[in-house]
Structure 1
Amino acid sequence: MDSGYSTVQILLAILLISRCKAARKWDYEPILISATSSDDSLIKLEPNIVRLGRGQYGLSARVEWNYDVTEETMVDAIVYRSSTGDESDYKLLPYSVPKQSFYDYMNTFYKDVVMKNFANCSNVPQFEGEFQPPWPKQTYIGDKCTVAGDGLPDMVPQGFYKIIFNCTGPDQPSWSLIAVFKIINKMF
């Protein structure tokens, strides 16, 4: 009888361990998404928030990319958080993409987050291994994209998050994306 009880305990422990996996413990609502470009003839960005259903939102975008990226093209992203959403309440967070070359970005954050979250709803370039230049000049479309959270932290504090993404380079346009999301913790 004692060995049967131990077997049940072991089976329960295995069941509990197999069910314990990391998963996103937050949900989001996009509040704002905007873009700027120093030259719309070289890069034109048209992001927008789309309603998918009751309480469900996605992101759509059209990006007309008409310039060559070089080794000197630099990108960075800065993330701020506010508990109230008030502009004066935002504080800088350590979640960021440090200033780096476009090609380094492609092999890190782009591959780990952008490809995983936007591959199913857009025509952004996909690759395995190292990114091989050039970045294609074309029109990119994202349609009703939702962020699954792949490559992002599983747990973040509730509040408003502002993300500012910048891209610059010599003899290239400067452009940026600004997005604000309200993060809500999920119970299950």
Structure 2
Amino acid sequence: MDSGYPSVLILLALLLISRCEAARKWDYEPISVSTTSSDESLIKLEANIVRIGRGQYGVSARVEWNYDVTERTMVDGVVYRSSTGDESDYKLIPWSIPKQSFYDYLNGFYKDMMMKNFASCSNMPQFKGKFQPPWPKNTYFGNKCMIDGDGLPDMVPPGFYKIIFNCTGPDQPSWSFVGIFKIINTMF
């Protein structure tokens, strides 16, 4: 009996296991982005879809942030899915950012997803540990940002997704972002 046979099987098993890592099994195409602000002197938002390469699109944005965030500043986000993209076909799905303080959002979703996906294409604040207020007044830029999926599910059903993000607070402007993205499943 060949004593090298078990060694070959072990090496093949290790090779197969190393190739079975979890990875994003979807790709996306931005369809539209829009923003609103109740007072553009305090926060002005602009966002648009930009072509990066053949069949590749990203989002560029500019945010002029000129107001102070407080413990009473609240954010929330909801996601709708449609298999056709028709406005009447969108249904609310359970992926959401429940209404919470801006600082809780920064220490949760922002840190887990936004910082990971947008650090390379924007000047958004980055931090380790817990965010230490205040949120800086600044002009923030995102240039040809593409989501690589860090912090998002590996598997996503194909279709159209509408993401609505809102921010409000007493004696503060209300503003929102709405993005529509088409999700396509990929095999590799």
Normalized against structure 1, the TM-score is what?
0.98
CA distance in 1, matches of 2:18, 2:31: 36
Deviations 1:36-58 (A, max 9, x none): 00000000000110011211101
Offset at 1:3? Answer: 3.5
Give the letter aligned to residue 60 of structure 1.
Answer: S
Give the letter aligned to residue 54 of structure 1.
Answer: R
Give the equivalent residue in structure 2 for 1:84.
84
Give the equivalent residue in structure 2 for 1:110.
110
Name whichever of 2-11 and 128-137 sits farther off: 2-11
Question: What count of residue pairs does the alignment treat as equivalent?
Answer: 188
Give the equivalent residue in structure 1 for 2:142.
142
Report the aligned-residue RMSD.
0.8
- Aligned residue runs from structure 1 range 1-188, under 5 A: 1-188=1-188
Offset at 1:2? Answer: 4.9
Structure 1 unmatched ranges of 5 or more: none
Offset at 1:4? Answer: 2.1
Offset at 1:143? Answer: 0.5
Deviations 1:111-139 (A, max 9, x none): 01100010001000000000000000010
CA distance in 2, matches of 1:13, 1:72: 54
Calculate percent identity across the aligned residue pairs: 80
* Structure 1 residue ranges (4+ consecutive) displaced by more than 4 angstroms after TM superposition: none
SS in 2 for 1:94: strand
CA distance in 2, matches of 1:15, 1:173: 55
Give the letter aligned to residue 150 of structure 2.
Answer: D
SS in 2 for 1:30: strand
Give the letter aligned to residue 143 of structure 1.
Answer: N
CA distance in 2, matches of 1:11, 1:53: 39
SS in 2 for 1:93: strand
Structure 2 unmatched ranges of 5 or more: none
CA distance in 2, matches of 1:147, 1:62: 17
CA distance in 2, matches of 1:72, 1:161: 29
